[in-house]
Amino acid sequence: MTWIQAVLLGIIEGITEFLPISSTGHMVIASHFMGIADDPFTKSFEVIIQMGAILTVLVLYWRRFLPNWTFYQKILIAFLPTAVIGFLIKDYVDLWLESPLIVATSLVLGGIVLLFIDRLRPARDGVAIESLSIKNCLQLGLFQSLAMVPGISRSGSTIVGGMLLGMKKSEAAEFSFFLAVPTMAAATGYKLLKMLKSGEHFSAEQWQALGIGFIVSFIVAAIAIKAFVGFVSKRGFAVFGWYRILLGGVILILLSQGIDLKF
């Protein structure tokens, strides 16, 4: 992986991590079209640089993360379903990541949902994060766990779940940001643990690529978060829905033409 490829993947990760368009789907698609080898380092890179984007949440919303047991309790309860389900099906997730058909289909289906979510929950005062019950938090965690299927989008599934529970668009979006912190920290920790157990070592060039991707994703994510919250509060999710359908449709057309898109 060259430093230019690391920069490009960092930009893609920073933009897509918090938008409901699937960061994982975009990363595997981008890696394929840039000709980046599908090896253990690439898979580790794609997970680890996500922490750069997630760190942005702690920086931008640091006041929310000051000692507040009620806030932490809601986040941890919402995290549990993903932790348990992820542990049980982790081997299947790695297989799904290699399927362009699954990614494309998930992009299209998720896009259709986003086209209708604004109509189901028009802009109005709704349930605040502080008002979420334990049951609500578990339900949001279940929605987030749907994103284990590549192309679904972790932020998208959590936002849709929040709006179906009566949250405002901005509140649902911010809760998806907060829930990303333990979720992605766990994913990154698990990937690093596997790397240590396997005796895998990165070269100096690979560590450099990781550092570049991490920093770029952090900077770009900071811009994307602010822009995203303001955009959806005013215009909703339809544009993201159409984008997902278009991207997924293009991939499905390429597959139907027999073009090899092995991820």
- The token duo for 110 is 């998720």
pLDDT of amino acid 112: 93
Cβ 110 vs Cβ 55: under 8 Å: no
What are 95-112's pLDDT values in tens digits?
666 678 888 899 999 999
Percent of the chain with pLDDT over 70: 93
Residue ranges covered by each domain of the chain: 3-256
DSSP labels, 117-132: HHHHS-SS--B-GGG-
Is the pLDDT at 121 greater than 60? The verdict is: no
Neighbours of 165 (CB within 10 A): 20
Please report where in the chains the tokens 């922490």 appear, as a residue.
Answer: 51
Band of pLDDT at residue 7, cut at 50, 70 and 90 = very high
C-alpha angle 71-76-82 in degrees, rounded to nearest 5: 140
What are 152-199's pLDDT values in tens digits?
888 889 999 998 888 888 888 899 999 989 988 887 787 778 777 777
pLDDT of amino acid 218: 94
Cβ 233 vs Cβ 171: under 8 Å: no
pLDDT of amino acid 6: 92
Residues 198, 39: Cα–Cα separation, whole Å: 14
- The token duo for 45 is 């890179």
What are 222-247's pLDDT values in tens digits?
999 989 988 887 888 899 999 999 99
- Selection from 88, 194, 108, 193 nearest residue 148 by Cα: 88
What are 130-142's pLDDT values in tens digits?
889 999 999 999 9
As beta bridge partners, residue 127 has 167
Is the pLDDT at 125 greater than 70? The verdict is: no
